[in-house]
Amino acid sequence: MSRNLGYRLPTFVRERDAASIALDVAEMAAAGGFRTVSCGDHVLWGLPMLDPMPLLAAAAARIPTVGLGTDVYLPALRHPLHVLRGLATLAQIAGDRVSFGIGVGGDNPHEFDAVGVDVTQRARRTEAVIDLLRGCQGDVHRVDDVPPPRNAIPGVGAPPPIFIGGMSSAARQRAARVGDGWIAMLLSPGRLRSRIAELTDLRASAGRTHLPFEFVAQLPFRIDHGATAVAAAAQYWREIAGLEFDAIRDRCALGPAATRDAVEALFAAGATTVTLMPMTAGRVDELRHVDGACAVAGDVSGQDESLERTL
Task: Number of helices (H) and strands (E) in the chain: give both, helices first.
Answer: 10, 9
Burial label, 277 (beta-carbon count in 10 A; 0-12, 13-18, 19+): buried
pLDDT in tens, the chain (311 residues): 679 999 999 999 999 999 999 999 999 999 999 999 999 999 999 899 999 999 999 999 999 999 999 999 999 999 988 998 899 999 999 999 999 999 999 999 999 999 999 999 999 999 999 988 887 544 444 566 556 555 555 666 778 999 999 999 999 999 999 999 999 999 999 999 999 999 999 999 999 999 999 999 999 999 999 999 999 999 999 999 999 999 999 999 999 999 999 999 999 999 999 999 999 999 999 999 999 999 999 988 755 543 333 23
**Facing residues of 143 across strands?**
146
Structure confidence at residue 158 (pLDDT): 78
Fold of 4-310: TIM Barrel (3.20.20)
- What is the rounded distance in angstroms from the CA atom of residue 236 to the CA atom of residue 136? 41
Q: Minimal CA–CA distance to 63: which of 92, 19, 28, 87?
A: 28
3-state SS assignment for residue 280: coil
- What is the rounded distance in angstroms from the CA atom of residue 274 to the CA atom of residue 138? 37
Single pTM value for the model: 0.92
Instruction: Domain ranges for the chain, please list them.
Output: 4-310
Structure confidence at residue 310 (pLDDT): 28
- What is the rounded distance in angstroms from the CA atom of residue 24 to the CA atom of residue 282? 12
Q: What HEC string does 89-136 produce?
A: HHHHHHHHHEEEEECCCCCCHHHHHHCCCCHHHHHHHHHHHHHHHCCC
What phi-psi label fits residue 68: left (phi over 0), alpha (psi between -120 and 50 degrees) or beta?
beta
| 191 Cα distance to chain centroid | 19
Structure confidence at residue 138 (pLDDT): 43
Q: Which residues, other chains included, contact 213 with Cβ-Cβ below 8 Å and sequence gap of 6+?
A: 179, 180, 181, 182, 203
Q: Minimal CA–CA distance to 84: which of 63, 65, 102, 108?
A: 102
Question: Which helix (DSSP H) or strand (DSSP E) does residue 5 occupy?
Answer: strand 4-8
